[in-house]
Amino acid sequence: MINEKKIKVLIVLADFYKNISNNLLCGAQEVFKKEKINYNIVRVPGALEIAQTIKFYFDSKLENYDGFLALGCVIKGDTYHFEIVSNESARSLSYLSIHFSIPIANGILTTFDKKQALERSDINKLNKGKESALACLSMIKIRQKLN
C-alpha cells in the first residue's frame, strides 16, 4: 500500500467527451479506493480548463491537496484545434508541476478518433485513468520522501 500518511488528491475531469471521461474516472477511482486515498472531483468544460482549475485549488486556502490528477480526452478533428488543445493542456500541466513542484499526473487522452479513445478508457481493459492515478500516487510518494 502506498498510503503512509493520509493522501488527498483532486481529480480535475474535463467533460467535453463525458462518456470517455467517466470511464477514465472509474479507473482512477478504482485505484484510489484500493489504496484508501481521499479524493475529490471537480468537473470542467474541457482540457484547456484543467490546468487553470488546478492552479485555483493549489492557491486556495480552503483545502490542501497532495496531488492532482488531470483526466479528459481530446479527439482529432478536421482543424488545427486538436494540436492546440493537446499541446497547450500538456504544456500547462508540465509548467505547473515543474514551476510550483506540484505532483500532477496527466491522464488526458489525445487520440486520432473516438475508437482509440474508447479503447484507452475501457473499464475492463486498458484504462489510462488507472495508469494515471498510479502515476499520481508515485509522484506524491516521491514528493513526500523529500519533504
Nearest to 118 by CA among 44, 17, 36: 17
Q: Are 68 and 100 in contact (CB under 8 A)?
A: no
- Three-state SS for 61? coil
Can 81 be counted among the known catalytic residues? yes
Q: Is 5 exposed, middle or buried (0-12, 13-18, 19+ CB in 10 A)?
A: exposed
Output the CA angle 14-18-19, nearest 5 degrees: 135
Out of 18, 34, 36, 81, the active site residue is 81
Nearest to 102 by CA among 33, 5, 10: 10
> What is the C-alpha separation between 21 and 82, in angstroms, rounded?
17
For the annotated catalytic residues, the residue numbers are 81
